[in-house]
Structure 1
Amino acid sequence: MYESFGNRMRKIRIARQWSQQELSIRAGISTPHISSIERDKRHPSLEYAQRIANALGVSLHSLCDSNAEFRMPRMHNSPEELPLHMQNFILNESAFPYLEAAQCMSTLSEEDTRFLKKLIEILAQRERALSTVNQTL
């Protein structure tokens, strides 16, 4: 019998005794989006499917194929261990673009990461210089 991606994802999440919010935090995907996927109202992109699989600690293949066997490794570092202000930020829907950017940055090569850090540093210096000029006017 065919089992949808969303249903398989829900079963694994529930087996881990996680709320949708906890999976949302771990995957860097908004809670409403997780809910929509579980209810088969939306289908995840390949990137989101991989993020969900990584967060659940299973292979993408085992998440997509209901006949595939998998063993769930023990997971540590629950979001509840984060400071309250970080939990609130992550659960806030407006945090989604930042979480998405952080997820994208975590997949960059070391060379790309150095380049991006340098670019951010240059832009921050420029912004500080412009801010100083505007304050003196």
Structure 2
Amino acid sequence: MGTINVGKRFGKRLKALRAERGWSQEEFADRAGLHRTYVSAVERAVRNPTLPILAKMAKGFGMSLVELMESV
């Protein structure tokens, strides 16, 4: 698991979690207090979220940061 692929793996994880809930990028972004274009960029591994952003994402999903990062 090289560090180069971490962004891609996390993007896939984020997208999968959204899909499980039937949420659009916009709906998830609203729940997490983020902009939809930022969520899109993270899913495509164009942007790398900071720890505070990861915490917002976890809260948006109603899970812990550890759960969010599972299998990344």
Larger Rg over CA atoms: 1
Letter in 2 for 1:66: S
Give the Cα–Cα distance (whole angstroms) in 2 for the partners of residues 63 and 7 of structure 1: 12
Shift of 1:60: 0.9
- Residue of structure 2 equivalent to 1:31: 36
**Cα distance in structure 2, aligned partners of 1:5 and 1:62:** 12
1:61 is aligned to: 66
Give the TM-score normalised by structure 1.
0.45
Q: 1:22 aligns with which of 11, 14, 27?
A: 27
Identify unmatched segments of 5+ residues in structure 1.
68-137
Secondary structure at the counterpart of residue 67 of structure 2: helix
Aligned length: 67
Q: Give the residue type in structure 1 aligned to 2:61.
A: L
Q: 1 CA distance for matches of 2:65 and 2:9? A: 13
Counterpart Cα distance in 2 of 1:63 and 1:4: 12
Q: Which residue of 1 aligns with 2:11?
A: 6
**Distance in 1 of aligned mates of 2:10 and 2:65:** 10
Percent of aligned positions that are identical: 37
* Partner SS for 2:47: coil
Any idea what the Cα deviations from partners look like across 1:45-99, whole Å, max 9, x if unmatched?
11110000110112111211217xxxxxxxxxxxxxxxxxxxxxxxxxxxxxxxx
Distance 2:47 2:34 in 1: 13
